[in-house]
């Protein structure tokens, strides 16, 4: 059975991957996440997800390595993680009463066979109208500095929304599990059974 590695230091992605009940190792890759001039949102998350996984390939031969990266899109602008609490408050104030699209790139690098697959999933969040006090209270309580979009859906962030729209809510947290399961099965690792290869 192929062995699994998660190329991420995110505890949220680890918690999601834990749900598949597969043994895995994890390691945080150190890569430059700066967008390139003219790079599309899907191109950016594809590149970063794949770069994260490939960055660990030499250290993990004979493994399947998962890479993932996420951005928020609002009014045609790519938004990453807020620099500080003031930036998080400002970001949430912009989102109030609006729709924000999250694009999550997913890569699976198979170091056994020198192959990889890359894809992305989208998930839309419609924010309810938020008061300044609600935003300030949320940011103070949750301090969502490591989250694209300045909220943590798996925590108090759920209180900010009017509705969520997409195929897999795990996409919003940062690891699209439905698509990941499909990629793992294609690579010979079925989460519900024995290896298929």
User: Does residue 47 belong to any structural domain of this protein?
Assistant: yes
**Would the pLDDT of 54 be above 60?**
yes
Which residue range is the domain that position 115 belongs to? 3-186
CATH of the domain at 46: 3.90.950.10
- Would you say residue 111 lies in a domain? yes
Indicate the helix (H) or strand (E) that contains 132. helix 132-142
- In angstroms, rounded to a whole number, what is the distance separating the alpha carbons of residues 128 and 126? 7
Residue 32: inside a domain, yes or no? yes
107, 118 contact by CB (below 8 A): yes
Mean pLDDT, rounded, of the chain: 93
Domain count, the chain: 1
Task: Strands of the chain (E only): list them.
Answer: 3-7, 24-27, 63-74, 77-79, 99-110, 115-127, 161-166
* Model confidence, pTM: 0.89
Question: Over 90: is that where the pLDDT of 81 sits?
Answer: no
Active site residue 124: no
Active-site residue, from 69, 84, 110, 124: 69
| C-alpha span between 35 and 175 (Å, rounded) | 20
Task: Tell whether 191 is covered by a domain.
Answer: no
Residue 192 within any structural domain of the chain: no
């Amino acid at each position: 059975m192929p062995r699994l590695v998660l190329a991420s230091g995110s505890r949220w992605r680890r918690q999601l991957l834990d749900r598949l009940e597969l043994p895995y190792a994890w390691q945080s890759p150190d890569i430059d996440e700066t967008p390139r001039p003219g790079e599309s949102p899907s191109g950016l998350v594809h590149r970063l997800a794949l770069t994260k996984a490939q960055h660990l390939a030499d250290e993990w031969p004979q493994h399947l390595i998962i890479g993932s990266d996420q951005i928020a899109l609002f009014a045609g602008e790519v938004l990453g993680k807020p620099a500080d609490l003031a930036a998080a408050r400002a970001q949430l104030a912009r989102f109030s009463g609006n729709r924000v699209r999250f694009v999550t790139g997913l890569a699976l690098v198979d170091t056994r066979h020198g192959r990889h697959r890359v894809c992305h999933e989208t998930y839309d969040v419609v924010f309810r109208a938020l008061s300044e006090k609600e935003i300030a209270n949320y940011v103070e309580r949750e301090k969502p500095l490591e989250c694209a979009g300045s909220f943590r859906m798996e925590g108090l962030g759920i209180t900010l929304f009017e509705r969520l729209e997409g195929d897999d809510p795990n996409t919003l947290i940062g690891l699209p599990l439905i698509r990941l399961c499909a990629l793992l099965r294609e690579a010979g690792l079925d989460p519900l059974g024995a290896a298929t290869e």
